[in-house]
Amino acid sequence: MLTSTRFVVLDVETTGLSPRVGHRIIEIGAVCLENGVETCAFHSLINCGCKIPPAAQRVHGICDAMLCDQPPPSMVYPQFHQFIEGAMLVAHNARFDLAFLRHEFDKQRLPLNNGIRCTLEMSRRCLPELLNHRLQTVARHLIGSLPLHGRLHRALDDARLAARVWSVLCERFATETTRTHYRCEKIGT
């Protein structure tokens, strides 16, 4: 298992599917794993000053009113940059999350040079028998059931679920975890 490195497992909720067309991150959640144990967490809703389309609201349940008194990107991303400093990043569908994160970091002129692991790619490689590789499907397959207290499609809860999936994948498929590695430069914005 990869336990000697500090891993930050993250998830974002957004206003849409592509930062290239102006969609933004409105919630970020992450957990830090050290030696396989969650040591701290980061969570913030983000008031990026744009309306949330109804289709996006149906996915994550975040509405415009929930963001009114939340901090702007200029306050959140420098703090999150410190949180992930020196860590290997892990995400389920890393290409999606990191494309948004890179876009937001670029707006704040923050570097994003962390290595990346993707639990979606790992599950596709290691669990080809699954009908789909959504986070909830992979978690049910590996863990047996989803936690009752978590909210699907909310950043911190999904980050915690992805952290559990990551840990089990590392235990069961140690060699695949070393092969499924991306650098941020390879993840398009």
Which residues have a catalytic role annotated? 153
- Tokens at residue 114, please? 């962390």
Query: How many beta carbons lie within 10 A of that of residue 124, not counting itself?
Result: 15
Q: Can you tell me the distance from the alpha carbon of 180 to that of 138, in angstroms, rounded to the nearest whole number? A: 16
Q: Can you tell me the distance from the alpha carbon of 140 to that of 108, in angstroms, rounded to the nearest whole number? A: 37
Q: Residue 143 in contact with residue 168, Cβ under 8 Å? A: yes
Query: How many beta carbons lie within 10 A of that of residue 127, not counting itself?
Result: 17
